[in-house]
Structure 1
Amino acid sequence: MKLNLFKRSMIFATFFGSCLCIALIVASLGTTHWVDARARRLSNPIESEGRISFGLFEGHKELNFGYGWRNHDFSIKAGTHPARRWAWCGTAAQLAVALAASAGACVLAALGSAARSRCSPRPLLLCNSAIVLFTLGAIAVWLTEFFLRLQHNVMSDEDLANTWSSDMTADLGLSFWLIVAATITAFINNVCILIAAADGRDVDTIAPALEEKVNGAIMLY
């Protein structure tokens, strides 16, 4: 049974959606704005100022003690990530699985839209559901860490010793919202797949009726 144009179009649309999911997840992993925060020295709050932004693997910190800005890059390898180990490991691991599922969804969507015969949408549906599941898991883990710890403090032990504080100045950055966008995109992909699966029109269901009419016309002659 051959796929009609509508089903092909809906399945092929999920290919672009899956590519977008890959781009969003990779961008979130590679950027340093999962959390953006400001800081002040409790001992000198008027003249001091600080800005901190970080992602899952690295970050950037700018501190002004009152006599000029000092820039400092930090990474998880140095053990200076503001989030606790369970939080960034859990978030990164789930995003890695979501990224693999996005790649699988791309391949399945390309093969499904190119196939001449009807194939089961279940594998494609499962891949996109996995993207939704694991990105939501990453979001849940990061939000938990944010509300329990990061919104109260993103400073290192050395900065805390110098009376720096970022209490209640942190915000979720663009990198985090890219994952939210990836979740929505994968959910839209699932909607497209379900619509294509629910559409019962196929080329071969129309062909027998047309063939019968043609044969009837030939018999009249």
Structure 2
Amino acid sequence: MKLNLFKRSMIFATFFGSCLCIALIVASLGTTHWIDARAHRTHSLQVSEGRISFGLFEGRKELNYGYGWRSYDFSVKAGTHPARRWAWCGTAALLGAALLCAGGSCILAVLSSAARARCSPRPLLAGNTLAVLFTLGAIAVWLTEYFLRLQHNVMSDEDLADTWSSSDMADLGLSFWLVVAASLSALVNDVCVLVAMADGRDADTIAPALEEKVNGAIMLY
């Protein structure tokens, strides 16, 4: 049984949604704005100022002690990341799993829309649903760590000893919101697949019905 054009179009549309989801996740992993924070020294509020931004793997710190900015690029990993090990590893692992699911969904969308015979869209639905769940998991883990720790402090032990503080001056950055957009993209894919599944019309069932109507009209005349 062949798929009608509408179903093929809806299924193929998920290919672009999966590509967008992959691009957004990769961008979130490669950028350094999961957290953007400001800082100051607690005993010299008038002259000291700092800016810190970091992602899951790299970061940048700019500190001004009152006589000019000094910039530092740093590599972050579990154990030295401002986020605790469970949050850093959990977020990275969940995004990696979401990336694999989105890639699988991308391949399934092409195969399903190109297949001549009707094939079940359930694997495509499952792949996109898993991508949604994994991205939501990463969002939940990072938000938990943000509210418990990162909004209160993103400074290193050395900076804390030098009286630097970022308390209540940290915000969620663009990289985090890219993951939110990736989750929405996968969710839209799920909607497209469900719409295609809900449409019960198929090419082989539409054609006989149309032919029957034509024959009935001919016999009437």
3-state SS in 2 of match to 1:63:
strand
Q: Note if contact 1:58-1:81 (Cα within 8 Å) is conserved in structure 2.
A: no
Alpha carbons of 1:127 and 1:78: their partners in 2 closer, same or farther (altered >3 Å)? Answer: closer
3-state SS in 2 of match to 1:56:
coil
- Does 2:107 match 1:102? no
Q: Distance in 2 between matches of 1:69 and 1:211?
A: 78
- Does 2:135 match 1:135? yes
TM-score normalised according to structure 2 size: 0.95
1:104: how far off? 0.2
1:189: how far off? 0.4
1:116: how far off? 1.4
1:10-89 correspondence to structure 2 within 5 Å: 10-77=10-77, 79-89=79-89
Task: State the AA in 2 paired with 1:207.
Answer: A
| C-alpha distance after superposition, 1:110-150 (max 9, x if no partner) | 01111112110110000000000000000000000000000
Which consecutive residues of structure 2, in runs of 5 or more, have no partner in the other structure?
none
**In structure 2, what is the equivalent of residue 162 of structure 1?**
162
| C-alpha distance after superposition, 1:68-115 (max 9, x if no partner) | 111111112494321111101000000000000000000000011111
Could you tell me the percent identity over the aligned residues?
Answer: 79
Q: Distance in 2 between matches of 1:97 and 1:78?
A: 18
Q: Distance in 2 between matches of 1:76 and 1:218?
A: 77
Q: Distance in 1 between matches of 2:78 and 2:177?
A: 26
TM-score normalised according to structure 1 size: 0.95
| C-alpha distance after superposition, 1:13-45 (max 9, x if no partner) | 100000000000000000000000000001111
Task: State the AA in 2 paired with 1:17.
Answer: G
**In structure 1, what is the equivalent of residue 187 of structure 2?**
187
Q: Note if contact 2:78-2:89 (Cα within 8 Å) is conserved in structure 1.
A: no
Q: Distance in 1 between matches of 2:69 and 2:96?
A: 36
1:151: how far off? 0.2
**In structure 1, what is the equivalent of residue 177 of structure 2?**
177
1:88-127 correspondence to structure 2 within 5 Å: 88-127=88-127
Q: Distance in 2 between matches of 1:141 and 1:132?
A: 14
Q: Note if contact 1:97-1:134 (Cα within 8 Å) is conserved in structure 2.
A: yes
Q: Distance in 2 between matches of 1:200 and 1:78?
A: 50
Which consecutive residues of structure 1, in runs of 5 or more, have no partner in the other structure?
none
Q: Distance in 1 between matches of 2:189 and 2:44?
A: 52
3-state SS in 1 of match to 2:82:
coil
Q: Note if contact 1:74-1:81 (Cα within 8 Å) is conserved in structure 2.
A: no
Q: Distance in 2 between matches of 1:78 and 1:5?
A: 49
